Chain A
Amino acid sequence: MIVAIVATITFALIHLAPGDPFSAVMDNPNVNERVRATLRAQYGLDRPLPEQFVRYVGQLARGELGWSFSHDRPVREVLASALPNTLLLMAIALAGSFTLGILIALVQVARRGSATDHALSAISLFFFSMPDFWLAILALLAFTYWLPLFPVGGAVDPVMHDYMGFGARIADRLRHLLLPALTLTVLAAPGVARYQRAALLDVLPADYIRTARLKGLTEREILRRHALRNALLPIISLLGLSFPALLTGAFFIEKIFAWPGMGLAVVNAIGTRDYPLVVGGVILGSIMVTVGSLLADLLYAWADPRLRAR
């Protein structure tokens, strides 16, 4: 239901925006209105909007996402080639940001009130507040130009990749993946850290923590074995909520790092008014978010014995 509502709203919004695929990309004095009209008719854009919508829903019912005007390929093919790249980026960023975020929170709570705690809070807040695109541009300049450790965007070296051996190709992919994934990780980790820190501080006054202290456990053991386990439950909820943020963050990261994922395809499609690709991308994105939230709920139920007992 959520996916259907999102698809309908997106379809309406993108069609309400002025222009169409053939006005945006063909601002050429030699392309007259008759030519544009022919093209609009060929792709059914001359039909009333409700009719276009009904046709689109019919296509969707048959599992077809339509035809991409800007790629001149089926939307399904465009998204199928882009999706693995986005999932790879998101998966690494998700794993990285949660690991890093939890570690930061543990350090902060272990040294709560200290200068380290305050410094980490300030750094987290700094990166948490930073716009995605700005950090991405900064990272691009810093680590590809000023300190050239990584290649400048793309998924592989377009010139040499196909002439490399198997191992070198893997290394080439990793070199290209690392910087966008790290950037996305750095953007997402502060949110996890702040959330986890608060959750840990919530459980520390609990009776079982006091009991653990009385048993003579060290502060590190208390945090790792007792506090962290119980404070992880809210983080599982955050996991589900992180999907939309990571997905939209990935959109900017993909554009700046020329990472050939879904975000890049959809952002470009908005500019060219490639209606089917925009709607197709949003549908796929909403499915990813819905499935992500569902998985988070299932994980929560699995992790919390109280829910399992019910």
Chain B
Amino acid sequence: MAPLTRARLLCALLLCACVGTESQSGKSTGGTLVIAAGGDPDILVPSLLSNVQAAEIVDLVYDRLANIGDSLNILNDAGFTPRLADHWTWSQDSLSIAFHIDPLAKWHDGTPVRSNDVRFTFQSTIDSTLGSGTKALIATIDSVATPDSATAVFWFHTRTPQQFYDATFQMPIIPEHIWKGVPPSAWRASEQARHPIGSGQFRFVRWIPGAAVELAADTANYRGSPKLSRVIWSIAPDFNTVVTRFLSGETDFFEALRRENLPEVAKHPELRLKQYRGLAYIFAQFNLRDPANHARPHPIFGNRELRRALTMATDRANLVRSVYDSLAIPALGPTVRAYPTTDPSLAQIPFDLARARQILDSLGWRDANGDGIRERNGRPLQFSLAVPNTSKARAQLAVLLQEQLRQAGVKVDVEQLDFPVLIERLRKRAFDVAIGQWNTQPSPGSIRGTWGTAGSRASSGSNYSSYENPVFDANVDSALASFNPPARKAYFTKAYETIIQDAPAIWLAEPIPTVGYHSRLQLAPLRSDAWWAHIADWWIPSDKRIPRDNTPAGTATAPAESAGRKTP
């Protein structure tokens, strides 16, 4: 046990006696969860954050009006559970939703949550000087009115199936009285961005950059106290260090285990593994436009049949098994199995090396000089495959893909690039093939930007392949506009089948996120978009507690960092 001063130990034990009680369900409250984290959160403002650590912390500190259900349904309000809004009312034409704020809801500084906080959150998010990516996601919302302090009415431009999702999921509510004095352009640099005051079941305690972030249970929370007393992110920038901290018991939970860590975890009987359906997919995307002249098709990948042949030459099942073992399965397409709209039996281009060779022959790509590489009109069938040097798994995928395509007479030059360099190349469409990964949201709607014509033609679009097919676009639009779940799924299926057959990418893998945790920890279900969504229900039985569980939450003596920072 790490030593405590006698007075503090006494204080800690007294507090544990008070806090660590048996709840009605028989589960005791109290305990400290230490999460192994690979980096600092970037910023603790819901509309500005961009990394997963920040999302985890922000989701526990701030509340939304309503929470999405574990099934990730985004149609209307089915499956959503009340949070800051204890109930809501749809207008007759469904162009507005009135959210009624829970009268017991309070900010962590004791101020009641009011409807003007909701309006302020919306208005600040759409303020162009803030520079929030969320603005584009809530474009269907026209305004937020506050007829009284307990009611926030969202008005929408048009009726859409996911308007409720847009109003709730995309906007954790922030306190107006804390933020109103700060111009949105200065939010990133503000003190509030590092010391958030929210209304969630955990309140912010401290952030020691490069070392830890600590949250404590908000025991007076309107939704009740969480079962854990403290949640701490123990930060280390090096992956090996993070893993070692988990294996040595310094941390209780690690969210990003890799295949090579599993044998070591298996040696520890006190450690457990848990898998859940994730929202990410990995692909090797072809650039369909000539990098030298975007007006022309790519000299190799502009041809649909050639792309299909390359897909056919790829044994995806073997590739995924070799790289990920049980931590991934072959991807279905630009989607994930966790979506209710995904049909897991989507037709695929099958692995058939002989057929792939025939197609390449028929396209005029033949190995005339016997060097093992096909040529056409003097041009070898050779291209570069870019991968980020930050991902070991993707680098391995690239090497195996290189070998598989070599057997079809294709020469692939693997290029490992610094992540910012790769992003820059993708944005400029200056690549041949690149292995990428999209981490999607509960709504499959982001496919418009990543694979639709809109995302291809906008200079800022994320459709780096420049794939364009009006049939695909029309089916995606119809799916997103449909209120009928079976019809919605049918449209998405048509869209996915279209893009799979067009093969703008080889759909490689769908990772199965695997978390490691200490057996003393009792987990609640892990939600696909956010494993941390139910942390308030996690608990540690009192007979399995260790000394670090018995420190009183939020009473650390040392200040995290100096207050009163200047802005740039």
Contact = CB atoms under 8 A, between A and B. Distances in A.
Interface of A: 17-20, 23-36, 38-39, 42-43, 66-67, 70-74, 77-78, 81, 137, 140-141, 144-145, 148, 151-165, 167-168, 171-172, 255-258, 260, 264-265, 267-268, 271, 273
Contact of B420 (A17, A34, A38, A264): A17
A154 B211 contact: yes
Contacts of B455: 29
A176 to B, nearest CB: 10
Contacts of A19: 418, 420-421, 423-424
A164 B5 contact: yes
A268 to B, nearest CB: 6
B482 interface: no
A67 B566 CA distance: 10
Give the top 3 A-B pairs by smallest Cβ distance, nearest first.
Answer: A19-B420, A33-B460, A158-B212
Interface stretch (B65-73, B235-243, B343-351): B235-243
B269 interface: no
A141 B244 contact: yes
Contact of A26 (B133, B189, B424, B556): B133
* Size band of the interface chain B makes with A: 35 or more
A32 B129 contact: no
Contacts of A167: 3
B236 A154 contact: yes
A71 B548 contact: no
- Max count, chain B CB within 10 A of own CB: residue among A25, A151, A273: A25
Interface stretch (B104-112, B306-314, B557-565): B557-565
A74 B137 contact: no
B154 to A, nearest CB: 20
A4 to B, nearest CB: 23
B129 A38 contact: yes
Given A144-B248, A145-B248, A163-B556, A24 B420 contact: yes
Nearest to A18: B424
B50 A162 contact: no
25 contacts: A17-B421, A23-B420, A25-B50, A30-B134, A35-B132, A35-B135, A38-B129, A74-B568, A81-B561, A144-B248, A154-B236, A156-B211, A157-B2, A158-B208, A159-B32, A159-B34, A159-B551, A162-B558, A163-B4, A163-B12, A163-B557, A168-B4, A172-B2, A256-B240, A264-B210
Contacts, number: 188
A289 to B, nearest CB: 23
Interface of B: 2-5, 8, 12, 32, 34, 39, 42-43, 50-51, 128-129, 131-137, 185, 188-189, 193-194, 208-212, 214, 232, 234-238, 240-241, 244-245, 247-248, 250, 418-421, 423-425, 427, 438, 446, 449-450, 455, 458-460, 462, 547-548, 551, 555-558, 561-562, 565-566, 568
Contact of A153 (B132, B208, B241): B241
A67 B189 contact: yes
Nearest to A258: B236
A167 B3 CA distance: 9
A158 to B, nearest CB: 3
Nearest to B552: A163
Contacts of B423: 19, 23-24, 27
A74 B458 contact: no
Contact of A28 (B133, B135, B548, B555): B133
B238 A255 contact: yes
B2 A164 contact: yes
A160 B568 contact: no
A74 B129 CA distance: 21
B3 to A, nearest CB: 4
A34 B460 contact: yes
A160 B551 contact: yes
Contacts of B566: 74
- Max count, chain B CB within 10 A of own CB: residue among A26, A137, A258: A258
A264 to B, nearest CB: 6
A28 B460 contact: no
Contacts of B420: 17-20, 23-24, 271, 273
Contacts of B547: 160
A80 to B, nearest CB: 10
B248 A148 contact: yes
Contacts of B427: 23
B211 A158 contact: yes
A263 to B, nearest CB: 11
Contact of B185 (A42, A77, A155, A264): A42
Contacts of A77: 562, 565
Nearest to A80: B562
A165 B193 contact: no
Contacts of A39: 131
A131 to B, nearest CB: 14
Given A157-B2, A258-B210, A23 B561 contact: no
Given A17-B421, A72-B43, A29 B438 contact: yes
Nearest to B240: A137
